[in-house]
Amino acid sequence: MPRVPSAAATRVGSQIAFFRTRRGMTQDQLAVTSDIDSSNIRSYESGRAMMNVHSLIRIAEALHVEPGDLLEGVTSDMFPATQRRTG
C-alpha cells in the first residue's frame, strides 16, 4: 500500500525537526540515537510518512521530550478520510 501524505504527518514531522534542531542534532544523529533508519527519519520530517507508535516513542525518547509534544496540534481531521473511522 502506498504511503498517503497527510496534514498530520506533516505536523508531526515538523515537530520532530523542531525538537531535533533545538537539541543541535542532525537527522543521522537522531537515527542512531533512536535506532531508526535515517531514511525513515527524513521521510517522517518531510511528512511523506507517519511512524507507528513505537517509533514515535523511540524518537521522543531520543529527543528527550514527551511523545505528546510530537503530537501537539494534531487532530483527527488532519488524516485522510480513508484513515478516519466514523461511528
pTM, entire model: 0.87
Between CA 28 and CA 6 the distance in angstroms is: 24
Question: What is the set of domains in the chain, with CATH numbers?
Answer: 7-69 (1.10.260.40)
Q: pLDDT tens, 40-80? A: 999 999 999 999 999 999 999 999 999 999 999 999 999 88
* Sign of the C-alpha dihedral computed for residues 17, 54, 51 and 41 taken in this order: positive
